[in-house]
């Protein structure tokens, strides 16, 4: 898990945080306001939209760095950012050709599972859990209950209940 804190802009005096972020970064939503500080200079250059509601391309208005962003607000409450080179970003903007890394919600949750921790729901059959379990099954019908349980951070029995809800 990435425990870095992005509290100050980089050492060069830039008003952005791009240089301090790793190539694949996790920025937690809410809390101490880190997300607001990191995203203060980000502007959406292309929103994927449609079934891939979590995915968009941002460009830093301070340094020009392009970032592919997956906004995961159901299970992990995180933003996952992938630093992009200009040619890849240009293909997204002009041809709507996206890198595969965040192209399915399952891939986003796998990144979340390795870089973060799932939210603990007090309501066992929370709509967010139910919707996500069903989305995972719809996205990949052969996904197992064990895989879903792992991605959501719930016991297998709970994952089975989520799919039946």
Pairing status of strand 24-28 against strand 42-49: unpaired
pLDDT at 31 over 60: yes
85 and 159 co-located in one domain: no
**How high is the pLDDT of residue 121?**
85
71 and 22 co-located in one domain: yes
Taking the whole predicted model, whether its pTM rises above 0.95 is answered as: no
Give residue-wise pLDDT tens across range 42-58.
Answer: 999 999 999 999 999 99
24 and 64 co-located in one domain: yes
Give residue-wise pLDDT tens across range 103-146.
Answer: 999 999 999 999 998 888 889 899 999 999 999 999 999 999 99
Enclosing domain of residue 76? 18-115
């Amino acid at each position: 898990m990435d425990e870095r804190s992005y509290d100050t802009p980089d050492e060069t005096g830039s008003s952005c945080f791009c240089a301090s972020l790793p190539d694949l970064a996790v920025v937690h939503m809410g809390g101490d306001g880190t997300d607001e500080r990191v995203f203060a200079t980000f502007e959406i250059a292309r929103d994927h939209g449609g079934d891939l509601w979590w995915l968009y391309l941002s460009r830093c208005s301070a340094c020009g760095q392009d970032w592919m962003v997956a906004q995961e607000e159901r299970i992990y409450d995180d933003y996952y950012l992938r630093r992009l080179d200009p040619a890849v970003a240009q293909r997204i903007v002009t041809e709507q050709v996206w890198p595969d890394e965040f192209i399915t919600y399952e891939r986003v949750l796998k990144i979340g599972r390795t870089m973060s921790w799932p939210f603990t729901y007090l309501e066992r059959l929370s709509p967010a859990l139910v919707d996500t379990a069903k989305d995972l099954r719809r996205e990949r019908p052969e996904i197992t209950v064990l895989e879903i349980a792992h991605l959501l951070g719930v016991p297998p029995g709970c994952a089975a209940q989520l799919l039946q809800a």
